[in-house]
Amino acid sequence: MTLIIEAKRESSHVKSPLIREVARREGLEPERLARLIASGRVVIPANLNRNLEKRIEEGGIRGVGEFLSTKINANI
């Protein structure tokens, strides 16, 4: 399941570790972050084919968008 579909379903009670980790780092409530993702104002770039649990533990998961510290993502 993609993160945006998950965010739409979980906007009242967030279970996704990606959303919870980014919300914790940014000082937002997970429910608010889920609503921002569902509306398209925030994205969490993550390759689901990689070991996300390891990236979460290492602190490598970041969100990009409105109300977050990272506003632009440029991959060159």
Within a domain: 51: yes
Instruction: Give the pLDDT band (50/70/90) at residue 2.
Output: confident
Within a domain: 14: yes
Within a domain: 75: no
Within a domain: 16: yes
How many independent structural domains does the chain possess?
1
Within a domain: 19: yes
User: Could you tell me which residues come within 8 angstroms of residue 51 by beta carbon, excluding any fewer than 6 positions away?
Assistant: none
55's enclosing H/E stretch is helix 52-58
**HEC assignment per residue over 5-56:** HHHHHCCCCCCCHHHHHHHHHHCCCHHHHHHHHHCCCEECCCCCCCCHHHHH
Look up the domain containing 27 and give its range.
Answer: 3-65
Give per-residue pLDDT as tens, 22-60. Answer: 999 999 999 999 899 989 899 988 777 777 777 777 777
Within a domain: 35: yes
**pLDDT value at residue 29:** 93
One-letter amino acid at 44 equals I
The length of the chain in residues reads: 76
Within a domain: 71: no
Instruction: Give the pLDDT band (50/70/90) at residue 61.
Output: confident
Within a domain: 70: no
